[in-house]
Amino acid sequence: MTVTRPSERGGAVWVPVGPRDAAPPERERRRPAYGPWRALWRRYRRDQGAVVGLAVLATIAAIIIAAPLLAAYPPDVPLDIIALKSQPPSWLHPLGTDPVSRDVLSRVLYGGRVSLAIAVLAALTAATVGTLYGAIAGYAGGAVDAIMMRVTDACLSIPRVLLLLTVAALWGRLSIGGLVLVLGFTGWFGVSRIVRGEVLALRDREWAIAARALGAGATRTLLRHILPNVASPIIVAIALGIGNVILLEAGLSFFGVGVQPPQASWGTIMQDGADQVRALWWLTVFPGLAIVTTVMAVHAVADGLRRAADPRSGYGARP
Amino acid sequence: MADSGDAGPAPGVTIGGLGPSFVAPLPISMPPASVRPIVPASSCHPRVASPAPLPIARAGGRAGGRARRVVCAALMVLGAGCGGSGGISAGRADAGGTIVVALAADVRNLLPAYAISTQDQMVADLMFDRLADPGDSLNTVGDRGFLPRLAERWSWSADSLSITFHLDPRARWHDGVPVRATDVRFTYRLFTDTTAAVPAASQLAAIDSVTTPDSLTATFWFKHRYPEQFFDATYQMHICPEHLLRGIPTSALLASAFSKHPVGDGQFRFASWTPGSALELVADTMNYRGRPKLDRVILSISPNYGAAMAKLLAGDADLFESVHPDNLSEVRRRPDLTTIPYDDPSYGFLWFNLRTAKGTRPHPLFADRDLRRALSMAIDRAAIVRNVFDTLAYVPPGPFPRGASNADPSAPALPYDTMRADRLLDSAGWRRGSDGIRRKGARELAFTLSVPTSSKTRQQIAVLIQDQLAHVGARVTVDPMEMPVLMQRLEGHDFDAVLQNWRTDGAMDDLRQTWTTDAVRHGANYGDYANPTFDALVDSALTTSDPARVHELLHRAYTILDNDAPAVWLYQPRLVAGVHRRLHHAPFRPDAWWAHLADWSVPVADRLPRDNIGLTARTTAQAQ
Amino acid sequence: MRSFVVRRLVQAVTVAAAVTTLTFVLIHLAPGDPLAGTMDDPRVAPSVRAHWRQVYGLDRPLPVQYVRFLTGVARGDLGFSVSYNEPVIAVIRRAVPNTLMLAGTALVLSFAAGILIAVIQVRREGTLTDRALGAISLGLYSLPDFWLAQVALLAFSYWLPIFPAGGTIDPVIHPYLGPAAAALDRVRHLVLPAVTLAALTAAWIARFQRAALLDVAADDYLRTARAKGLSEWTILVRHALRNALLPVITLFGLSLSAFVSGAVFVEKVFGWPGIGSVAVDAVGARDYPVIIACTIIGSILVAAGSLIADLLYMLADPRLRRAEGDADGGATSAVAGA
């Protein structure tokens, strides 16, 4: 049993009501032509930069998913360790070969899989943990909220890079799963603050109070009522998180404490060429360009989402 | 021996293209005529007490000792006549110039006792003198070829159980105090003090004591006779000043003021050190061996290889000691730079651990000799060396660099033969599975190969080995780890296989310290290789004085090593130094290219602005 | 006001203490120990290593080491560095001025550039200039900092030898230069690292500032100013910017944290001997006291940064001075990214 009510952000939100209410009229049972996600997409589409960013991102994702089809050589097999060692870009090897005579283009394609997978998983982990934490803090309020936010503040004040370097370096070889966990568990603090702020604000809206009055428990109120309204900032945070983690993972792998060689990732390819930036410049330049393009696209998408989701916020939206 | 962080490039070419047993060097580009190597002026040197041709070399023998000493003394007197004042001339017409040496890693400490890395050793060698230095041939047997330093002459006892060094009375510490025999005794005691943890202490184990009959005479007493007595007595110890180090407790040595501002007796004296930036040495004008021709030696420290090369190529540095093959062409294109190749006395190898669980049980894979031999034959060492080093390395047939005392170029080496390797593995019961990996029952032919993250060379080699062994059905997992962690695992005998690189000082004792059963507990035999026959042969070789017999014993020992294959001998690097052309350099001694740095010079006509800084600048800065 | 400051100071100290403890436990639980690096020569006997462990106090149980460490810090003694062979205070004292010089220059450069870009973008809004600058700042914002550092080295030091390849001064001739030449030498070495560090933050600031400016662009007082006949530039700079600077002030405090993190990679690539380099080297060498000291400094900087941000915001915005009840200094909340 639901009624529609306009949400603050445009579009409609289904708010469950108790069983005693009458069944909604027939026409309201149909899915409205103007749902919240469609509205979001409509506003998003208006922003040229964001559309371009989404297109670029989709292309990159497609290329990387199709890596086995596109890569001419396997990424981890030395081709000819004498004749093909450290070749500059050529027709046969458009991005050159590395000192162990592996084809750099194949490594960039397959490495993209690793880098993007780590980024997406870590950002999702961070968002999940942060959302849960922030939701609980915001909903509980009072002393619990204060303590939980103190902890977040404390964690925020550790420079993330130093923490990551220390943890990853000291514990030696981190598997990719371990890397995802470490990156995820050091990145949720910002998300939790945002979610906590939103939950705090929405907790005392009439419909939330109504839901509680009608018997919805805390969990249900949170999950079914409040969090859907916080979805947009969370999605934006995920997008930004993906961008940040790509950069972080590249940095960690470059310094030898992220993905371990000989596994290909954008950071490890750069590390292979770190000693010889002058002579083997293609090992530094091309993975870097790949990173920059991807992260630019991700940021453009995140910006577009933010603008589309919150048209009245001042972040660059036009009236 | 110390683990060298990374070996630079090295050239070589295979013979025949099949598995090379030894690689012959290509003729290296000779330095052009404008850079004239200068022979150390020992021909007219007043202190040529024992030039190589004189029959003073005593590999443990003792014939005609007294007569020889008389002859030697006569020659010395004659020699002293030639060359005139030699020693303390402060005014040489062509003196002057600054050499800037680019380093890719920082100097860690300035105490010679704790000098482990090559840059620390270089600084120690320049500031502190030994009793005697090995000659350029790096002979370690007897005293043949050794050049006198603090000891102007020496004499053996009749039973060769003691050597008496007579110190040069002109030798002085840089603060003016004369060098005395008590300094020698103090240095020996410091080095052998267990609480001081001096790495070279184990090399001095055969020395029983050092006595000082008078203030200019120090006598070393040995526990037994062996060929490398003289080498051990002189090479391991830079003499330290007793009057400055006397009261400092050993645990406070590294933090003491002396270690930040050392006072030595060498031809260069300490000027200043800014950690991470530069270390400066100036010429000691009143040195007993003569004033060096250069005024200053500045070590310009960079954080990594790339920055150091940039300094050389930009003209901010005059010398960089190991140019990577990928950069050689660029260096050669510069009109003001030249390249000088020289051997690096180190060898790299793939080390199998024969016992697992910290030495308690035989390793499930590597305890099997046939498996080790098969894996050795499956690795194309020549191709690996060609890929990683281009033409700048050799493939050694055993655990020794070329030209070392224990080298044996004719030692047998397993060939590169993948078919033989396959057959051997098949006959040992390792069958290929559907995924290409061999199995014996439930056990896979899979192991972890550990490499240090600090060495890109070894990381590259590890990837190549991984690929080559995959072709014979072995799955290798490359495990990079940081040097401290790797050393911890090595010392705990807790690894499967590792790529290791030992830098040797050319002594035969290295064999005993790394591959004998005794070394499992007390040395560096981290792979737990134990073969009593090999031990016996090495022990005999170390105590025999006849060179031919030593060679034969070593050859038999290396044959055993080749049969047992406890390791795969991979590379000996040949380094190339990039040097500014205006420098007239002395020949490079293989283990220390800086050995004759005092003879390097810059002709007045070619001097750059930094050559004209002179000696007196910076005295105010030094005082700070 | 005073109670706010006191409260925040107490918070900062608590946070620093918590961070220190956490780091201490973390690094001592990790494998590897500081002596293995400096004494990796196999000739050193195990008994000797045990002796040195005892000298450095590494053989005591963890709580005992922790107490020793705390009492040391209370005395002002941060311990002894095994890899530098000198007291940690000396290492830090040498490194901090270098980082401050680099970060300070980068801070000034990035704020100046960021605000300038934002003003130009708003003034020429909708035109090609706006889009181009927007794309550039998006691009700069997406660069990995170590990569930009390497590319900058490649372009302006290796291929076009304009700037030196690292370090703070020319180690050979700097002591012999006159004061003007010495200053020029320092500036030459500072340019590439500072510009690299500034470029990334400038993009961030530009985006933020542009958003803030657009936020106030439609406000009524600006319409009045236009009606008065003032030029657009005057309006932008004297009226709009004043109000739009407020959110950016909070960035000032937060950027300290960003500079601490960013400096790590940039310092390492350029060989700039600051706290970032020291920290990375210490992690590699397992030099515990130095690692802890660097972490303490890092978190002090970050805490100081957010405190300064809140104070400045309060000073700048009179509305806040009256209502300082928000317990967690809300101005700094939403900008801290993932």
The Cα–Cα gap between B39 and B545 comes to 31
Say yes or no to pLDDT of C259 above 90: no
pLDDT in tens, A58-72: 999 999 999 888 888
- Residues of chain B contacting residue A99, judged by C-beta atoms under 8 Å apart: 326, 387-388, 460
The model carries a pTM of 0.77
- Pick from B297-311, B459-473, B533-547, C228-242 the range whose average pLDDT is largest: B459-473
Pairwise CB contact (< 8 Å): A194 & C333: yes
Selected residue with higher pLDDT from A73 and C49? A73
Its ipTM equals 0.77
Say yes or no to pLDDT of B61 above 80: no
The Cα–Cα gap between A123 and A126 comes to 5
- Residues of chain B contacting residue C37, judged by C-beta atoms under 8 Å apart: 483-484, 487
- Residues of chain B contacting residue C83, judged by C-beta atoms under 8 Å apart: 108
Asked if B275 contacts C133 with a C-beta cutoff of 8 angstroms, the reply is no
Facing residue for B324 by CB, picked from A81, A101, A276: A276
Place of tokens 């985006």: C207
Residue C211: how many CB atoms within 10 A of its CB? Answer: 21
Say yes or no to pLDDT of B463 above 60: yes
**pLDDT at residue B589 in the model:** 87
> Which regions of chain C does DSSP assign to beta strands (E)?
80-81, 86-87
**pLDDT at residue B572 in the model:** 92
Mean pLDDT across B268-291: 90
Selected residue with higher pLDDT from A267 and B95? A267
Say yes or no to pLDDT of B85 above 50: no
**% of chain C surpassing 90 pLDDT:** 6
Asked if A151 contacts A269 with a C-beta cutoff of 8 angstroms, the reply is no
Q: Please give the interface size between A and B, counted as residue pairs whose CB atoms are below 8 Å apart.
A: 66
The DSSP call for residue B411 is -
Place of tokens 């292309």: A59
Mean pLDDT across A4-16: 50
Strand partners, B339: B578
**pLDDT at residue B79 in the model:** 39
Q: Write the DSSP assignment of B373-403 as a string of letters.
A: HHHHHT--HHHHHHHHHTTSEE--SSSS-TT
Say yes or no to pLDDT of B373 above 90: yes
Facing residue for A162 by CB, picked from C138, C279, C286: C279
The Cα–Cα gap between B331 and B325 comes to 10
Mean pLDDT across B532-545: 89
Q: CB-based burial of residue B545 (10 Å sphere; 0-12 exposed, 13-18 middle, 19+ buried)?
A: middle
Edge-to-edge order in the sheet of strand B207-214: B151-156, B162-167, B217-222, B207-214
Nearest to B562 by CA among B362, B425, B411: B411
Selected residue with higher pLDDT from A38 and B311? B311
Facing residue for B298 by CB, picked from C44, C52, C172: C172
Asked if B57 contacts B144 with a C-beta cutoff of 8 angstroms, the reply is yes
Of the listed ranges B326-335, B588-597, C291-300, the one predicted with least confidence: C291-300
Q: Is A178 an interface residue toward B (CB < 8 Å)?
A: no
Facing residue for C334 by CB, picked from A157, A193, A270: A193
Q: Is C239 an interface residue toward B (CB < 8 Å)?
A: no
The DSSP call for residue C159 is I
The chains in contact with chain C, meaning 3 or more Cβ pairs closer than 8 Å, are A, B
**pLDDT at residue B12 in the model:** 30
Nearest to B31 by CA among B588, B573, B594, B572: B588
Nearest to A86 by CA among B592, B386, C138: B386
Selected residue with higher pLDDT from A56 and B73? A56
The Cα–Cα gap between A140 and A199 comes to 10
Of the listed ranges A162-171, B259-268, C198-207, the one predicted with least confidence: A162-171
pLDDT in tens, B599-622: 999 998 888 888 887 776 543 333
CA-based nearest residue in chain A for residue C13: A154
Q: Is C146 an interface residue toward B (CB < 8 Å)?
A: no
Say yes or no to pLDDT of B220 above 90: yes
- Give Cα C23 distance to the centre of its chain: 19
Selected residue with higher pLDDT from B323 and B77? B323
The DSSP call for residue B494 is -
Q: CB-based burial of residue A101 (10 Å sphere; 0-12 exposed, 13-18 middle, 19+ buried)?
A: buried
- Alpha-carbon distance values, C245 to A82, A307, C317 (Å): 59, 21, 10
Nearest to C282 by CA among C36, C83, C38: C83
**pLDDT at residue B176 in the model:** 92
Asked whether the CA dihedral B88, B89, B94, B98 is positive or negative, the reply is positive
Q: CB-based burial of residue B151 (10 Å sphere; 0-12 exposed, 13-18 middle, 19+ buried)?
A: buried
Look up residue B420 and give its two tokens.
Answer: 């033989």
Q: Is A10 an interface residue toward B (CB < 8 Å)?
A: no
Q: Is A33 an interface residue toward C (CB < 8 Å)?
A: no
What mean pLDDT, rounded, does chain C reach?
A: 78
Q: Is A172 an interface residue toward C (CB < 8 Å)?
A: yes
Domains delineated in chain A: 49-316 (1.10.3720.10)
**pLDDT at residue C34 in the model:** 63
- Alpha-carbon distance values, C19 to A252, C13, C261, C298 (Å): 21, 10, 16, 10
What mean pLDDT, rounded, does chain A reach?
A: 80
Asked if C37 contacts C285 with a C-beta cutoff of 8 angstroms, the reply is yes
pLDDT grade for A254, boundaries at 50, 70 and 90? confident
- Give Cα C121 distance to the centre of its chain: 27
Say yes or no to pLDDT of C206 above 70: yes
Facing residue for A86 by CB, picked from B304, B326, B478: B326
Of the listed ranges A213-222, B177-186, B384-393, C123-132, the one predicted with least confidence: A213-222
- Residues of chain A contacting residue C211, judged by C-beta atoms under 8 Å apart: 314-316
Pairwise CB contact (< 8 Å): A166 & C283: yes
Asked if C324 contacts C1 with a C-beta cutoff of 8 angstroms, the reply is yes
pLDDT grade for B28, boundaries at 50, 70 and 90? very low
Q: Which of C158, C283, C301, C335 to mutate to test the interface with A (most CBs of A within 10 A)?
A: C283
The chains in contact with chain B, meaning 3 or more Cβ pairs closer than 8 Å, are A, C
Selected residue with higher pLDDT from A288 and B5? A288
**pLDDT at residue C43 in the model:** 57
Q: Which residues fall within 8 angstroms of residue A179, CB to CB, at 6 or more apart?
A: A118, A122, A168, A249, A252, A258, A259
Name the minimum distance, in Å, from the CA of B237 to any CA of chain C.
15
The chains in contact with chain A, meaning 3 or more Cβ pairs closer than 8 Å, are B, C
Mean pLDDT across B147-165: 92
pLDDT in tens, B483-492: 777 887 888 8
Of the listed ranges B422-436, B476-490, B559-573, the one predicted with least confidence: B476-490
pLDDT in tens, B432-449: 988 889 999 889 999 999
**% of chain A surpassing 70 pLDDT:** 83
**pLDDT at residue B425 in the model:** 92
- Pick from A171-185, B563-577, C130-144 the range whose average pLDDT is largest: B563-577
The DSSP call for residue C176 is G
Pairwise CB contact (< 8 Å): B255 & C86: yes
Mean pLDDT across B113-135: 90
Of the listed ranges A104-108, A285-289, B168-172, C5-9, the one predicted with least confidence: C5-9
Pairwise CB contact (< 8 Å): C43 & B201: yes
- Pick from A2-11, B579-588, B610-619, C50-59 the range whose average pLDDT is largest: B579-588
The DSSP call for residue B601 is B
Q: Is B488 an interface residue toward C (CB < 8 Å)?
A: yes
Say yes or no to pLDDT of A172 above 80: no
- Residues of chain A contacting residue B463, judged by C-beta atoms under 8 Å apart: 78, 100, 261-262
Say yes or no to pLDDT of B194 above 90: no
- Alpha-carbon distance values, A134 to A137, A139, A189, C332 (Å): 5, 8, 9, 16
- Alpha-carbon distance values, C122 to B161, C215, C311 (Å): 90, 11, 28
